[in-house]
Structure 1
């Protein structure tokens, strides 16, 4: 492995983890398409959609764990509701990891791009949505005051939450994204969680779902361990930087960054699919 390749992997690991930890997406939506791009241009060898997804999933274990610990220390994560989400997301991740073997580069770029744009649009109009009573349960009501003094009240009904997170888990295993690209918007829009708490809780989900999905990908031989080791070390550094940055920015800024990143990546992947 050349010095240039190592430097590229370090930059990818640190950069994706910083962005992922700030907005609660884990960095998988950056790592996967980037690995595929580098593989297509012979900068990295042996990369397929399956190995990119499998390698990303392993990396997200370290990113999710380091960021989760930091967010829990800062009291920016809802551990109680995280356990409820885990019940659905774990089996979903296993199912999604199995079906990932049927993806081609073209289909991955198209479907993943459409998914990211959809989530970006949902975040854009999130304030127009009225609370969905099906997902609310007063017995689970919590209160949170952010750094601007804005008070949030939110509650989560366990059964609908488990069903919703099962489908999130399926997408997690299928695309190798850690679930954050969907979990963060879901918690903000459907469960009315404060953005900062949604990001912290999402990182716990990313850790758990990635741990589960990675097991399946390892069994299927989808992990490029040489690349993974470098990316893991770099992502741990980046995740801790991202947590510190998140703590010092406004909630609306977190949502704006998440929306812009999802839209930009979605458009890029669809164009890539069409041009390819």
Structure 2
């Protein structure tokens, strides 16, 4: 039963993570903490172990979905490497800050963070892109399968600062970071949505390696849980990447946003009341 639960958590995390470019950790961490707190199926799990194990899974989620997106030629490798310059160190700093959080404070901070992410995803479609000057910066052109051409670009320094913040949040909360990076890429840097999601997953793959190594060195990974989560996450990431290329399910996205809002409120409640 324990392995089946972990397999389903991995499948859900991989599918949703790859579909929206989130990485999946935003599903894995709350799920592990929930089953640890309210059932005896997974035993006692600390926030540190939930985060460390989640980030290890993000390596496989990121790699699986990146390989899928590579076939569609939607991964901007140069941009992904530039973003990694910020997200890599950010993940290391976040992992060490995570050490100081007990269950109560983690639930409150993570709950607030998830609510912010939910709001960002809700208003993202209503916000107008902010065009920044990219004189001397990186300028890119992308032509999709329908022949439509997109132009986007960014100043590397700004991109690295934003990705450092994203990496920090990833390291401290065990999420992929795409929940912040994808909106930033679309609204600030004018990335085409499919390119933003694919490139985000590539960055998540790289930064998850760095963050995971840090958490492994701190003893924050449950290897048995990871072994059970990886197959579902790998398959889910392939499925999510496939669905992402075929449709933009407005209903699924709306339900996911409301689900995140519920999780955030629940985590804050648990942190404030102690259960």
2:142 & 2:253 partners in 1: Cα distance?
Answer: 17
Q: Does 1:76 align with 2:67?
A: no
Q: Does 1:16 align with 2:41?
A: no
The 3-state SS of whatever aligns with 2:99 is helix
Q: 1:88 aligns with which of 86, 89, 92?
A: 86
Structure 2 equivalent of residue 27 of structure 1: 24
Query: After the TM superposition, which of the residue ranges 39-48 and 91-100 deviates more from structure 2?
Result: 39-48
Query: After the TM superposition, which of the residue ranges 261-270 and 28-37 deviates more from structure 2?
Result: 261-270
Calculate the TM-score normalised by the size of structure 1: 0.90
1:75 & 1:171 partners in 2: Cα distance?
Answer: 28
Deviation at 1:188, TM superposition (A): 1.8
- The answer (yes or no) to whether the contact 1:179–1:209 under 8 Å persists in 2 is no
Q: 1:52 aligns with which of 50, 53, 68?
A: 50
> 1:5-25 CA deviation, whole Å, 9 max, x = no partner?
011111111111111110011
- The answer (yes or no) to whether the contact 1:23–1:254 under 8 Å persists in 2 is no
> 1:146-171 CA deviation, whole Å, 9 max, x = no partner?
56776533111111111111111111
Query: After the TM superposition, which of the residue ranges 265-274 and 43-52 deviates more from structure 2?
Result: 265-274
Structure 2 equivalent of residue 131 of structure 1: 130
Distance 1:37 1:251, change over 3 A: closer
Calculate the TM-score normalised by the size of structure 2: 0.90
Structure 2 equivalent of residue 140 of structure 1: 138
> 1:215-235 CA deviation, whole Å, 9 max, x = no partner?
011111111101111101221
Which residues of structure 1 form unaligned runs of 5+? Answer: none
Structure 1 equivalent of residue 202 of structure 2: 204
The 3-state SS of whatever aligns with 2:141 is strand
For residues 74-223 of structure 1, what are the structure 2 equivalents within 5 Å?
74-126=72-124, 127-133=126-132, 136-137=134-135, 139-146=137-144, 151-223=149-221
Which residues of structure 2 form unaligned runs of 5+? Answer: none
- The answer (yes or no) to whether the contact 1:20–1:242 under 8 Å persists in 2 is yes
The 3-state SS of whatever aligns with 1:102 is coil
Deviation at 1:115, TM superposition (A): 1.5
Give aligned pairs, total. 272
The RMSD of aligned alpha carbons is 2.3
The 3-state SS of whatever aligns with 1:155 is strand
